Amino acid sequence: QVQLVESGGGLVQAGDSLRLSCAASGGTFSRYNVGWFRQVPGKEREFVAAISWDGTSTYYAGSVKGRFTVSRDNAEITVTLQMTSLKPEDTAVYYCAATYGRYLKAEAEYRLWGQGTQVTVSS
């Protein structure tokens, strides 16, 4: 059973960059589509970005498009979310998730989830 482990969160200032990684433990991401979601306490988890299993398609929420980039390595072990020009409203717990499904912006589509990593952006 593949397990997902996020890393790379932390405290940064507005305008800074941060790179989150999602590692597949006990297997690989082979043929999994992978998404990133985030959640602020008291609010629903929201879609951030996703990448198709073959890396040919990427999807972004409007609020992060142009600032965040999702990628995956050829060994299918790590999926990365590069975040630039961070804003205080990007503060959240970020989760990676994996699915064989096609509706990559839908939280319900994902069956594997990591434990989350905190990103805090100060103004």
Q: 101-111: per-residue pLDDT in tens? A: 999 999 999 99
The model's confidence at residue 75, banded by pLDDT at 50, 70 and 90, is confident
Note the pLDDT of residue 63: 97
Residue 60 has pLDDT above 70, yes or no: yes
Over residues 12-54, the pLDDT tens digits come to 999 999 999 999 988 888 889 999 999 999 999 999 999 999 9
Note the pLDDT of residue 121: 98
| Alpha carbon distances (Å) from 103 to 7, 15, 28, 35, 99 | 25, 31, 21, 10, 9
Considering only CA atoms, give the Rg of the chain: 13
- What are residue 38's DSSP bridge partners? 46, 94
Note the pLDDT of residue 74: 67
- What are residue 36's DSSP bridge partners? 49, 96
Residue 115 has pLDDT above 80, yes or no: yes
Residue-wise DSSP of 83-115: E-S--GGG-EEEEEEEESSS-TT-GGG--EE--
CA distance 61 to 37: 10
CA distance 89 to 97: 21
